[in-house]
């Protein structure tokens, strides 16, 4: 597990003034990574770090103010248009780079005027995916979500017998993962309306979002060599926000016997910023399992997991409809939950995914599955908030929703806060729904 060091000191301030605002996502204690370029320039994408309302251009930093030792080795791969090279170097390199970036950005640092030349205002940049994502696996780690959804289809047995024994997952589609801000086209698929004799091909009528946490793998493992749970987090570079858009009517018709397919593979949106596990060290919590539940098998259990395997990360979903946008009223919050309520942890996902010898690679992405809390208001999807579409909910402007309408913009946000430490944020993962191709024809 990550330990606290000088980079987490809540008294640290930066010479970048916007990083010192208490309500900001990106204080000097955070320093998340992204891949960016100046908007509209056509210049190469490269790696950057958020500091307040600025992006520290790591390619420019390498030219203006080289670092030393392992930090310089890490910085040298940051001119690439993806974080994979940095991810592959491993935790020692990540730690060294974080330490040096904190040093050159803190108030009173020498050569601040030189480093300042590598800053780019965030409003003037566009983002690419943080990494070349070779594989994407979506888990099902929230027992509250699994129970609420299972109850809609199996009232007498919401959870299947294997749920409490292992982290359930399916392999998703990496090619349709996009970065925040990219639109999502309403997908077509086979639907079978209730009472119909046969299915039809049509645009989904039950488009949904899923509030998830993304986990980016750093260093991988050789094929045939499982990752022990004690070392699992050594292989994790960081976390992001993730929206696994879902066509619920397509999903309902196709998911048996082999699980999600066209209902899921059309779009997944991630936030541009990857918050490292080092930055999250102050917000770790003990992980536990209710005494009445089966305790994990030994390969999914351990002392460090029990002491600090959970993450205190508050997650929120916001909806901005086309009417809200036209009237300038701003987005409305739909729900709030916390990643600490997840039934399965980050380390357990890594250990289980590799226990059969599956070889993970730098840049692989895990989705946590929809995160929902124990209360109905903490649901991470419309499928739960509307009881499968049977209970529409009203918005403040008088509109109602069961599922998403064309023009709706969904925004996911995340923030960690703990007394005695500087709060940090994840930015946002946002996407707007466009009509189906061909004016609704498939």
Q: Rounded distance, CA 62 to CA 72, Å?
A: 8
Copy the structure tokens of residue 163.
């749920």
Contact partners, residue 256, CB within 8 Å, separation at least 6: none
DSSP string, 211-264: EEEEEEE-S---TT-PPPGGGGGGGEEEEEEEE--EEHHHHHHH-TTT--STTT
Using DSSP's 3-state secondary structure scheme, residue 123 falls into helix
Of the candidates 85, 16, 83, the residue with the CA atom closest to the CA atom of residue 56 = 16
Copy the structure tokens of residue 51.
């500091």
Evaluate whether 26 touches 19 at the Cβ level (below 8 Å).
yes
3-class SS letters over 138-165? EECCCHHHHHHHHHHHCCCCCCCCCCCC
- Burial state string for 43-59 with b = 16 or more CB within 10 A and e = fewer than 16: eebbbbbbbbbbbbbbb
Q: Which of 145, 235, 352, 353 is catalytic?
A: 145
Contact partners, residue 311, CB within 8 Å, separation at least 6: 239, 280, 283, 284, 285, 339, 340, 346, 416
Tell me if residue 352 is catalytic.
no
Q: Rounded distance, CA 187 to CA 216, Å?
A: 27
Catalytic residues: 145
């Amino acid at each position: 597990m990550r330990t606290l060091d000088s980079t987490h000191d809540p008294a640290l301030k930066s010479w970048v003034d916007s990083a010192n605002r208490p309500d900001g996502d990106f204080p000097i204690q955070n320093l998340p990574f992204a891949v960016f370029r100046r908007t509209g320039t056509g210049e190469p994408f490269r790696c950057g770090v958020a500091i307040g309302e600025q992006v520290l251009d790591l390619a420019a930093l390498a030219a203006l103010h080289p670092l030393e030792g392992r930090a310089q080795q890490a910085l040298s791969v940051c001119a690439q248009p993806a974080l994979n090279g940095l991810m592959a170097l491993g935790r020692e390199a990540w730690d060294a780079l974080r330490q040096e970036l904190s040093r050159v950005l803190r108030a009173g640092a020498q050569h601040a005027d030189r480093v300042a030349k590598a800053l780019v205002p965030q409003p003037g940049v566009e983002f690419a995916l943080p990494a070349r994502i070779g594989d994407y696996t979506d888990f099902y780690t929230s027992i509250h979500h699994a129970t609420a959804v299972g109850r809609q289809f199996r009232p007498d047995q919401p959870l299947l017998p294997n749920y409490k024994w292992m982290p359930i997952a399916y392999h998703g589609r990496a090619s349709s993962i996009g970065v925040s801000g990219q639109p999502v086209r309403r997908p077509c698929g086979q639907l079978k309306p209730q009472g119909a004799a046969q299915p039809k091909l049509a645009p989904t009528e039950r488009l949904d979002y899923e509030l998830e946490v993304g986990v980016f793998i750093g260093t991988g493992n050789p094929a045939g060599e499982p990752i022990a749970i004690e070392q699992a987090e050594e292989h994790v570079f960081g976390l992001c926000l993730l929206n696994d858009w879902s066509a619920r009517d397509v999903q309902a018709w196709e998911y048996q016997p082999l699980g999600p397919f066209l209902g899921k593979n059309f779009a997944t949106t991630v936030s541009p910023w990857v918050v490292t596990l080092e930055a999250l060290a102050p917000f770790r919590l003990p992980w536990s399992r209710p005494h009445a539940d089966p305790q994990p098998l030994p390969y999914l259990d351990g002392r460090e997991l029990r002491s600090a395997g959970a993450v205190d990360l508050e997650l929120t979903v916001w909806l901005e409809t086309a009417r809200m946008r036209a009237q300038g009223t701003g987005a409305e919050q739909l729900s709030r939950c916390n990643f600490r309520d997840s039934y399965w942890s980050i380390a357990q996902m890594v250990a289980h995914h590799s226990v059969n010898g599956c070889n993970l690679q730098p840049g692989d992405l895990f989705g946590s599955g929809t995160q929902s809390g124990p209360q109905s208001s903490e649901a991470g999807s419309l499928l739960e908030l509307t009881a499968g579409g049977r209970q529409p909910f009203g918005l403040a402007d008088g509109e109602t929703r069961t599922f998403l309408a064309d023009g709706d913009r969904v925004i996911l946000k995340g923030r960690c806060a703990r007394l005695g430490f500087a709060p940090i944020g994840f930015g946002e993962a946002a996407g707007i729904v466009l009509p189906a191709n061909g004016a609704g024809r498939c």
